[in-house]
A and B are shown apart, each in its own frame.
Chain A
Amino acid sequence: MIVDVNAYLGHFAFRRLRHNTATSLLTLMDSKGIDKAVVSSAAAITYRNTQAGNEEVAEQVRGHRDRLIPFAVINPFYAGWEDDLKICHEQFGMAGLRLYPKWHNYSLSGPCCRDLVNAATERDMVVSIPLRVEDNRQRSWLLNVPDLPLEEIVELVKAHPKARFLLLNGLGYLRSPLGRADSGLPSNYAIELSRLSVVLANELGQIIANLGAERVVFGTGMPFNYPDPALVKLEVLDATELDKERIRGQNAAKWLKL
């Protein structure tokens, strides 16, 4: 089973996306052999009121819950986020969150975010954090949103040892405590592979050696990205078939309690 923990539905403000409805994404998934995908709203990245995007995703995944696992985009600096979280979890059945602190202009270490992570943890929801949405060099003239520094993630995972984090669209972990075995950090985070190298520098192989294959999860970033580059990574990864199976879906299934 292949589980993609890094997928999206809906429109993105700065580029047309294909395969961004539930039906078309499922067709793409079928063509690539991807069984399940965690999806959140691409539109909510730039909506002021992210709950509108969550509602769109909840509507899209209706009838496809066996394959599409919805996550909520919550901005803890926006009015009513506690209500939104409750609705997303209890009414929409969303099993986790996606946070965009740089896009929504708040700090991961601030009290609002701390409250949100605590609230999500109490609900046993996974907190996923894309370290970037797009390559910053192609950004619109309207904005300049930096990638989320790994240092801020380090402090977050330390501050919330009982929370469960999925780190998406990141790289450079080996230069950070997040990718090292002796860091003393809690093992409350898993790393998604879509931007990790598997040849030349082979960051993915080193992360597996340092943290274990059970800390790596498969993700593509579709429909922002072609899914194939991530699939190719797993195909050429120098690892045991058992470890590959963990990364393909077993780890995600455990994290998501599928």
Chain B
Amino acid sequence: MTGEPRARVSRRTLLKSSVGLAMGAATLSAPRGWAGAISRGKVIDCHAHLTHRSRSTWEADDRKLIEAADKLGIDQLCCSILTPKRPATAEGFRECNQWTADGMRRFPGRVLGYCYVNPGCGPQAVEEARRCIEDREFIGIKLYNEHTCTEPVVFPVVELAIELGVPILHHAGHSHYFVEDQPHMSDAGHLAELARRYPEAMLICAHISGGGDWEWAVKAARHAPNVYLDTSGSVTDDGTVEMAVAVAGVDRVVFGCDSSMTAGVGKIRGADLSAEDKDKILGGNMMRLLGRRKS
């Protein structure tokens, strides 16, 4: 293989090209298919993660994430860092958020930070979220699976997000069996219930393509206008994005990868939707949510 020219792909062309592969590298820079869909605005991955520093390769891994975003035409990544073991302690999530803040400094303009907290830590969780958003320019809150989102212990964090006008990205999944290692996992139905209690909240239902029954998830969220569907996850089932748009409306679907980068991009590129709709999903909708910040 040595000495042969390596094919180069310029930034952004991937999200524009539908048949670039067929044409070969020479034509990849010529947008095809839904060309122009992203040229009108930013492409924002609403669900990304930097690497926990217990992993020795964290710095290189973070760099790889940015390089992957470069290759795929993703302008900004909304990142959190989770503790390796849950439930997270207050010390654990503070440390993660410190590292996320550092990532925002290392990759200015590329990494936007979600503040990760375990609502079970009560005032410590709320104080940490407030500090991250008000003092460190985090853009939202990441909640994982320590508590189902309908548990009252979660409500103060939701009320803080409403007060500050920031979204909550909530881990979610729905399988037709009991997921033993995530007994308190929320699903889109729980998020819809929470949304009815807090209609002012902006709740992003994480990774509808994350392995659970995505058709169930989309239908469960139908009547909750303040639940947004994150397209991330490793599953690339045909029709997922179109169904999310048909059932929830295009304004409630947001692009994400959750580290499944080519899956994330490919799903949107392959969806049978207008360029305008893809533009909203890829960044317009997330921009709108971020624009509701109150401070």
A residues sitting closer than 8 Å to B (CB atoms) are: 2, 15-19, 31-35, 134-141, 144, 194-195, 197-200, 213, 221-244, 248
Contact = CB atoms under 8 A, between A and B. Distances in A.
A223 B238 contact: yes
Contact of A229 (B212, B259, B266): B266
Nearest to B64: A200
B124 interface: no
B18 interface: yes
B67 A241 contact: no
Interface residues of B, number: 51
Given A233-B262, A235-B28, A137 B211 contact: yes
User: Which 3 A-B pairs give the minimum distances between C-beta atoms?
Assistant: A33-B22, A229-B266, A228-B270
Most chain B CB within 10 A, of A144, A223, A230, A236, is at: A236
- Majority DSSP secondary structure for residues of A touching B: loop
A234 B28 CA distance: 12
Contact of B175 (A19, A138, A222, A234): A138
A228 B231 CA distance: 15
A6 to B, nearest CB: 12
Contacts of A17: 238
A244 B28 CA distance: 14
A17 B215 CA distance: 13
Interface in B6-50: 6-7, 9, 14, 17-25, 28
A52 to B, nearest CB: 24
A90 to B, nearest CB: 33
Given A199-B68, A199-B72, A222 B238 contact: yes
A61 B4 CA distance: 39
Contact of B9 (A19, A33, A228, A235): A235
B215 A232 contact: no
A229 B270 contact: yes
Contacts, number: 141
A197 B65 CA distance: 13
A121 B175 CA distance: 40
Contacts of B177: 139, 141, 144
Given A198-B262, A235-B21, A235-B28, A225 B237 contact: yes
B60 to A, nearest CB: 11
B197 to A, nearest CB: 28
Contacts of B68: 199-200
B57 to A, nearest CB: 11
B132 interface: no
Contacts of A226: 236-238, 266-267, 269-271
B220 to A, nearest CB: 14
Interface string B230-247: 000011111100000000
B212 A213 contact: no
A155 to B, nearest CB: 27
A141 B212 CA distance: 12
Contacts of A227: 270
Contact of B261 (A138, A199, A223, A235): A199
A101 B257 CA distance: 32
A236 B74 CA distance: 13
B18 A199 contact: no
A234 B18 contact: no
Contacts of A134: 237
30 contacts: A2-B22, A16-B239, A18-B238, A19-B238, A32-B18, A33-B21, A33-B22, A137-B175, A137-B211, A138-B175, A139-B177, A199-B64, A200-B64, A225-B236, A226-B236, A226-B266, A226-B270, A226-B271, A229-B267, A229-B270, A231-B266, A232-B266, A233-B262, A235-B20, A235-B28, A237-B7, A241-B4, A241-B5, A244-B25, A248-B21
